[in-house]
Each structure stands twice: as structure tokens, then as C-alpha cells.
Amino acid sequence: MAYALPPYTTLDPAQARLPVRQDLAWHYPLLVTHIFGGALLTLIVPLQVWPWPRRHHPTVHRWSGRVYVLLGVPLVGVPGLLIAPLDSTGADTRISNTLWAILWLGFTVLGYLAPRRRDLTRHREWMLRSFALLYGIALNRIMLVLLGLLMPPWLHSGFGGDVEAMLPSVASSSSYLSWVLPLITLERWLQYRRRTTTTRTPTEPDAPTRTCAFALPSARRHQRRPLPPRRALG
């Protein structure tokens, strides 16, 4: 946030880190909405995935989740879906950003609907996926630096020594890796958790025979009353 927010606090399109389409009056307002909304969600979403607030302050967990969804969908997901096709670094990055917006919207909405069906396990999994994609935006900044350090050896063989030709390749690769890698890692972790939970579930021992608590009073009296001794005939 310290890197992404300052250029947009002035609301001056000339200071934007991304090229702004001058022929589309709505491009910059949606870009600013997406960035500031994403910053807000970045601060809120830990309250959803951090177990301690969920266990000890469930009201905070529930209300932060409502804010995350009801503000995130119109302020982050929808603007991101609309501005994704306008990216200036090439078709690969546009496709990556569009897929990100579609998946984030889907994961977030499914995470919101799951507890209404009393499916808290699915709710947690969908919200973790939404969290992974959201923080993938921050990871994108790191991936850009790493790829920028790794790509120069291929500058001449792959791009003819043209740095400008290499930049779109770096941007598209970073765009994909920044959300695909966290999502794959999360899915592997969820599979591991499911296997671990299934393995550790103890088998219940055979319960002793007990008098049913919902039996009729007469039946319970009959069950407690000892049988009379048998008498010899004759």
C-alpha cells in the first residue's frame, strides 16, 4: 500500500503508475476506486482468515466479513473486471487480470453464501481463496522485481536487446504467477488439511446400552423393575 497508494491520493491522472486512457472518462475513476477499495480490503481480510478473532470475537468477524463482501464486490471486483481489458502491457496481462477479477468475485460471493447454508467449512475455504487472490496483488510487486532480475540474461537472445520489448513479457508473467502460485499452494494445503482431519478422526467405541432418554415413563419404569423369581409348578 505504501508503494501503490501515494500517486493516487492527489487524484491526478498524470501521476498514476498505470497508463490512463484519455478517451475513456470513466477509466481513471474506476482505477482509483479499485485501488483504494483494494487497500481497504487488504486491511479487513485478515479478520476473516485469522482464527483468533473468529473464535473470541465472532461479532467482529461477521461484520468485517459483511464489509469485505458488500464493499469489495462493487469497489474492487466489478471495477477490476471493467478495467482489466484496458491494460497497456499486452493481451496476456489483460486475460490474466480478467481471470483474476472473475475468480475473485466468484470466490467472494460463494464465501458469503456458504454460511447462509450452514456450511462453515466451505465458507472458510472460499474466503481463503479470496484472500489468496487479494494478496496476490501485493505479491505481484515482488514478482516484478524478481523477474526483472532474472530476465536480463535472455534480453539479447529472446528480445533482441530491446528492453521495451521485454517489459510486457515480464508484466504478463508476473501477473499470472502472482495469483496462480498462491492459489495452487492454498489448494494443496487444503487437501493436506482434509487428509489430516480424516486421519485424526477417532473411531467412537461401542456405546454401552442405556435407557433411552425419550422413552415413555411407563417404559422406563418397566426397564428398571426387576423380574419376579420364577416359581416351580405343582
Q: Flag whether 31 is in a domain.
A: yes
- Judge whether 42 lies within some domain: yes
Over range 172-187, report the average pLDDT.
94
Which residues span the domain enclosing 12? 6-198
pLDDT beyond 80 at 30: yes
**Assigned domain for 59 exists:** yes
Q: Per the domain annotation, does 210 fall within a domain?
A: no
pLDDT of residue 219: 43
Q: Quick one: average pLDDT of 85-103? A: 92
Write down the mean pLDDT value for the chain: 84
pTM (2 d.p.): 0.79
How would you label 124-161 residue by residue, b for 16+ Cβ within 10 Å and e otherwise? bbbbbbbbbbbbbbebbeebbeebeeebeeeeeeebee
- Using the predicted structure, report yes or no on whether residue 87 has a pLDDT greater than 90: no
Quick one: 8 exposed, middle or buried, by C-beta within 10 A (0-12, 13-18, 19+)?
A: buried
Residue 133 phi, psi (nearest 5): -70, -40
1 vs 128, which has greater pLDDT?
128
87 domain-assigned:
yes
Percent of the chain with pLDDT over 70: 85
pLDDT of res. 209:
41
Residue 90, all three cell numbers: 499486452
Q: How confident is the model over 46-56, as pLDDT tens digits?
A: 888 888 888 89
In a domain, 116, yes or no: yes
User: pLDDT for 188-219, tens place per residue?
Assistant: 999 998 888 777 655 444 444 443 333 334 44
- What is the structure's pLDDT at 189? 95
DSSP string, 100-168: HHHHHHHHHHHHHHGGGGT-HHHHHHHHHHHHHHHHHHHHHHHHHHHHHHHSGGGHHHHHTT-HHHHHH
